[in-house]
Amino acid sequence: MSRGPAVIITEKDNAARRIAEILSDGTADTERVAGTTVYNWGGNRCIGLSGHVVGVDFPPEYNDWRDVEPVELIDAPIDKQPTQEGIVRALRQLARRASHVTIATDYDREGELIGKEAYELVREVNEDVQIDRVRFSSITDREVTEAFDNPDELDFELAAAGEARQVIDLLWGAALTRFLSLSARQLGDDFISVGRVQGPTLKLIVDREREIEAFDPEDYWELFADLETDEAGGFESQYFYRDEDGNEAERLWDGDRADAVYDALTESETAAVDSVNRRTRTDSPPAPFNTTQFIRAAGSLNYSAQQAMSVAEELYTAGYLTYPRTDNTVYPEDLDPRELLEAFTGDSTFGDDAEGLLAADEIEPTEGDEETTDHPPIHPTGELPSRSELSDDEWEIYELVVRRFFATVADDATWEHLKVVAEIADREVVDGEPPTEDLTLKANGKRLVEAGYHAVYPYFSQSETHVPDVTTGDELAITDTQIEAKQTQPPRRYGQSRLIETMEGLGIGTKSTRHHTIEKLYDRGYLENDPPRPTMLAKAVVEAAEEFADQVVSEEMTAQLEADMEAIAAGEKAYDEVTAESRRLLEDVFDDLTDSREAIGDQIQQSLKADKTLGPCPECGDDLLIRTSRQGSYFIGCNGYPDCEYTLPLPSTGKPLLLDEICEEHELREVKLLAGRKTFVHGCPQCQADAADAEADRVIGNCPECGKEHGGELAIKQLRNGSRLVGCTRYPDCEYSLPLPRRGDIEITDDHCEEHGLPELLVTYEDEDRESWELGCPICNYREYQARQNGSALEAIDGIGEKTAEKLQIAGIEDVAGLKNANPDKLAEEVDGVGVDTVRDWQADAD
């Protein structure tokens, strides 16, 4: 019998490459099979999948949403079909001749399912071959060799647990998504989605928004006093008192009382130190990075979750970081921190820190609470990129991960805390109230005594508060007092990283998907802005779900599913039992839903409209809405259309977002245009349209840049900062502009430039002493200016750069002779940021 190759299957190409390298001692070659890379040595082949290469779905006859009642999906058949054709073909081709198959997918539940998918593909073409399973949690020599020396079997029960999840997610997600979309008549791109993970995530955000909306702020006051010692300098202290439970309290809830305390404080001249407490606090270095903690740290450097992950994925693919999708916060035994630190010695950025850390007698890395088998925590691989081959973002993230690793092997930091309490004895506090009481002040100082890990990980605050070394009994002078009126604040919105941490805590989503879920909620029109805020649509969907299908927005569905999956994996429940029960529950949901179809649809449609509503139409009083033209551009139109044809334009750059700010004059919500880095606030669209109308009176011709294609026109514009220019009416879509002088009135004459067709402009002055002058055609004027620029003598003068020369030329000073003859006072007045003395200096220099 001919012996075919032994085939090893991993979850991704990267893992295949590294395993081939280890098992072949670096001798493996690559070949392409059906377009897929296969690693090849001796009688062995190693192939990497791309995660799931097959997916579950309904058969094609269920594809048309309008033909199939959503409820029918509950009992519809579910197929498994290849989703990565090339890889599936390559796998079949290898499997046909295989003498032995080893499944080496990731060591977690989804990895077991991906392994089973590979197993089934192999079995389709080869009934007899032996199929093993190996498990390792980091791709190191020792772990991989050990795993291949002791192969195990695929855990079909664990894989079945994953299959139950797939089916339940599909049934609930597809049936309810179709139901909501159909009832609100939102088909095509604007469908209304719900699911086991996006539902509860959205509810977290909506619930928080409800708390914020319901929040009733309360007034309170805080009091401060500046204290001064004779020799050690001044510091700030805060008034406090003991509440009923004997705890220190700083907030005064009664304004009259706050005023009385403030008066008493202000009248006092000294306070006596009552106690001085000093204690040292140990500040331990952070645990290794798992995905969630990495996203959080990158978030504090202003990366969105999605951005942080894609940068980390690139650095992983390039070989500089370990796998970025992991739950683990405990380094594997195989990781020798000393060896990894040594990789950094001699490096210009990290060398000194690495050497400093290596000088320690003992290196004991920190450990987090999560210890899992999936992958090691995120750390640098020890292969160093050069600064120039990474983008700024990549470098910043790389440095963060390197420094986090450094921190986990660094020493504790030590802080010294100093608390000083001072008293103003026996002051009468409340007018007319007989009892007197002591006024107490406190100050908390902290000082970083031992920088420890902060020296290599500068991302946490190291700010110190200075409180001088005083002794009990010292008299302190009160040099100033302040009263601050404050209000209690509503809870804060979730930022993306807080949201991901909360999801992790509730067991919603996985390390690989949480950031995608948040992106999805933005895409579906449920979230706007960052930190994310829910739209009216989001609130309506959550409300409808709470009423009829609470499971799909509650985290308990995941908790229940987790419990069921554990039971399947443990052999206590069967896959069929769990999926049948879930189908029954979903049928119950649909029993209630079907009657309310119209009500739910109406509610969602109203919310969709509210998300687009700006305010009253000035013509008919109906609502003005954001609408989309046939060409796909946005504009503002009236809900009363076609009876009312009122419209307002919107810039074509970006996607409009309605703000809460309302224009007082027109009662319309202001508009912001989201366009990545080019995002800008458009403001009240009516005000903008009025301003554009004013400009229209001063239109002088077609825009040379976009006039032919888009009909842009040139107009004389007055900007908010007071300066003027000739600009395109399609700004900001077209940024064509020509400069104009800052002073004087611009008159449009009847003469036209033959070359450009624009009217000649005349600059006149109210000041009768000042003569008017012809600026001419603004394009010619600018061309002349540019021509002069090339050989401009003005810039030869010290202190005149390109910008200043431009300003001078616009003011009619063309050359050094002109500058010499100019009246310094007038010129200084005309040119921004230039004083009389400066002009005189230039004139002296010109001589």
Partner DNA sequence: GCAAGGTC
* Angle at alpha carbon of residue 652, lines to 650 and 657, rounded to 5°: 60
Report the alpha-carbon distance of residue 570 to residue 267 in Å, rounded.
74
Q: Which two tokens stand for residue 477?
A: 């002078």
Write the DSSP symbol of residue 346: T
Question: Is there a contact between 452 and 441 (Cβ–Cβ < 8 Å)?
Answer: no
Question: Packing angle between helix 536-548 and helix 156-183, nearest 10 degrees?
Answer: 110
> In sequence order, what are the beta bridge partners of 575?
none
Question: Is there a contact between 696 and 715 (Cβ–Cβ < 8 Å)?
Answer: yes
Question: Is there a contact between 357 and 341 (Cβ–Cβ < 8 Å)?
Answer: yes
For residue 139, the minimal CB distance to DNA (Å) is: 12
Radius of gyration for the chain, computed over Cα atoms and rounded to the nearest angstrom: 36
Q: Report long-range pairs for 54-58 (Cβ below 8 Å, ≥24 apart).
A: 54/80, 54/81, 54/82, 54/83, 54/88, 54/117, 54/121, 55/80, 55/81, 55/83, 56/80, 56/163, 56/166, 56/167, 56/170, 57/81, 57/170, 58/170, 58/174
Question: Is there a contact between 112 and 162 (Cβ–Cβ < 8 Å)?
Answer: yes
- The footprint of DNA (CB under 7 A) covers 11-14, 48, 50-53, 55-58, 62-66, 83-84, 106, 108, 110, 114, 165-166, 169-170, 172-174, 177-178, 187-188, 191, 193-199, 313, 317, 325, 509-513, 516-517, 520
Report the alpha-carbon distance of residue 759 to residue 761 in Å, rounded.
6
Determine the residue type at 300: S
Q: Which is nearer to DNA, 18 or 672 (CB)?
A: 18
Write the DSSP symbol of residue 325: -
Given the residues 323, 331, 457, 575, the one annotated as active site: 323
Report the alpha-carbon distance of residue 752 to residue 146 in Å, rounded.
87
For residue 835, the minimal CB distance to DNA (Å) is: 58
For residue 47, the minimal CB distance to DNA (Å) is: 12
Q: Which is nearer to DNA, 496 or 517 (CB)?
A: 517
Q: Which is nearer to DNA, 188 or 632 (CB)?
A: 188
Q: Which is nearer to DNA, 12 or 210 (CB)?
A: 12
- Residue 221: how many other CB atoms lie within 10 Å: 20
For residue 313, the minimal CB distance to DNA (Å) is: 4
Q: Which is nearer to DNA, 173 or 759 (CB)?
A: 173
Q: Which two tokens stand for residue 100?
A: 């032995």
Question: Is there a contact between 216 and 222 (Cβ–Cβ < 8 Å)?
Answer: no
Q: Which is nearer to DNA, 608 or 716 (CB)?
A: 608
Report the alpha-carbon distance of residue 41 to residue 27 in Å, rounded.
7
Decide: helix, strand or coil at residue 714: strand
For residue 316, the minimal CB distance to DNA (Å) is: 8
For residue 157, the minimal CB distance to DNA (Å) is: 18
CA-to-CA separations, 626 to 96, 652, 684, 686, 731, in angstroms, rounded: 59, 13, 13, 13, 20
For residue 142, the minimal CB distance to DNA (Å) is: 22
Report the alpha-carbon distance of residue 156 to residue 570 in Å, rounded.
11
Q: Which is nearer to DNA, 53 or 805 (CB)?
A: 53
For residue 82, the minimal CB distance to DNA (Å) is: 10
CA-to-CA separations, 222 to 32, 464, 490, 493, 834, in angstroms, rounded: 72, 22, 18, 25, 47
Q: First-to-last CA distance in the chain? A: 103
User: Which distant-in-sequence residues (6+ apart) come within 8 Å of 370 by Cβ?
Assistant: 290, 327, 328, 329, 330
Write the DSSP symbol of residue 770: S
Q: Which two tokens stand for residue 788?
A: 């002069």
Q: Which two tokens stand for residue 479?
A: 């040099």
Q: Which is nearer to DNA, 175 or 800 (CB)?
A: 175
For residue 256, the minimal CB distance to DNA (Å) is: 54
For residue 308, the minimal CB distance to DNA (Å) is: 13
Q: Which two tokens stand for residue 408?
A: 């986990």
Decide: helix, strand or coil at residue 423: strand
Report the alpha-carbon distance of residue 179 to residue 168 in Å, rounded.
16
Question: Is there a contact between 53 and 85 (Cβ–Cβ < 8 Å)?
Answer: no
For residue 529, the minimal CB distance to DNA (Å) is: 21
Q: Which is nearer to DNA, 199 or 651 (CB)?
A: 199
Q: Which is nearer to DNA, 500 or 811 (CB)?
A: 500
CA-to-CA separations, 688 to 509, 678, 712, in angstroms, rounded: 44, 18, 16
Q: Which is nearer to DNA, 503 or 797 (CB)?
A: 503
Active-site residue, 731 included? no
For residue 174, the minimal CB distance to DNA (Å) is: 4
Q: Which is nearer to DNA, 500 or 834 (CB)?
A: 500
Task: Report, as residue numbers or ranges, the catalytic residues.
Answer: 323
